Structure 1
């Protein structure tokens, strides 16, 4: 961390402790945990706002460089704003704030005030970027506009989400309605966008609405790619009588850390139960075939459960590559 910022953090932590314990000296043992806490909060905040800044600039490029000059629309709150911009005299920057404001108010109740504040900052920055920055018009080819306009817009939305905010408030509405109506977030977003595209087909043209669907699909796929990361991890649970041999294989041959937890077998006659060790590890999808091969070498009848892991932190998965 920057020495200047670190010094400010130490001074703030010291003053906070001095207020709590008047006329008593602040010790290093008391100061260190509070300094570490503030350092983590500040470093995370800096990283998150960098993500948001990149997201805002990317979304602005997608809007001004592709969609706006060609009267294209997208899904979500951005699509509503683009649709209104085509049928009213209001500026898109103003519309982005007006359309997203109800969703941000909903976010403060549904998710939290911190998330809502960061989101309104991100949306306000996007409105400023759209209004003041003159991006060049990249192309007039409709297919390229739909694909790459959606890509840059999706990149902006995804980066903003990684920064702990949104620049498209319909996702907040989807979370809220999903809880109330027992629907998935994807189902709610699909219904919202069907409505937007239907209005777009009526107000503009069917062709524009069809290209808007393509734009939305490109944006949605890009968001998934940015939020979930480049690598897709798989959590693997292995239940086998050869658990010790499997553990050694993971550690020595595949060079992967694993977790062992105790379990009891539930299959068999009434009252029959037996103890067994259950192994859990995480690998990338590209390494999955080798892992399955090594498991079969030890126990073809091993019970293996696999599930996609969206993200992970710590551990040894990125530090010790699997041997060739």
Structure 2
């Protein structure tokens, strides 16, 4: 995967974009979140089919699998009888000569997919993200060298990428108070205490949700009581407030609902399918649609469909409605072709 010059091969259906020589591989990764079609949603067998079998592989006792293709690393963790993808990373710090942020940002701007900077990590790195592809770029703040590019990124633009407005325990105290209130009381609390400035309000809603999800009861506790219903109701309210404040879009919100078990499986899958912004007949695929500025809406709709169908797919063993199962299965058949 790495030619003599030390730079991975450019190519694929997006190589025609006007980017600098040797940069197409890196811009493609930021724009698509994939390497030659392989991304963090693909199983090891699928990655082998796309990237080949020239790799080194290691496993840990925690049920994790790491595969290295020169600059590219792909990681999974064991989930039942299958492997669940964790991330795909381009380890740009291994390049000689190094990749500079200025070159990468210039080419991405030219292609119409600019990076957005989020709060620094506090230990000498700048952080950038392309939110639609969920790619994060880590850069040495002293010399501007790109260190790594990862999808999905663990940091995000806007309030999600900013420091908490309060200490962790203070956030938890607020959430513990809210879970004891009724719906009308919570709305009164919100009107009285949320700041007027929209950006600050959005930031506070997000960190209330972060504090809440850290305290949510586990599956067993929800099943056997322990106030699980009240916590689920609060979680849904906070996520709705985050969505209304623009911190999350509908896809993000529904994926959080699924991840933290805030609805029963049938209701959660129905929410996923209702949130898919495009039909299966009209969804953009890798074969039909190029990654260009003009196609960004179609590309992002396809990405949303992929995320939502994968979220719903994890619930299928517990879904009772046959029609729901069949619709999710039909979407999952398209998974490897979606953007």
> Which TM-score applies when normalising by structure 1?
0.25
Instruction: Name the one with the larger helix percent.
Output: 1
Bigger Rg, structure 1 or 2: 1
Instruction: Name the one with the larger strand percent.
Output: 2
| More RCO (CA 8 Å, sep 6+) | 1
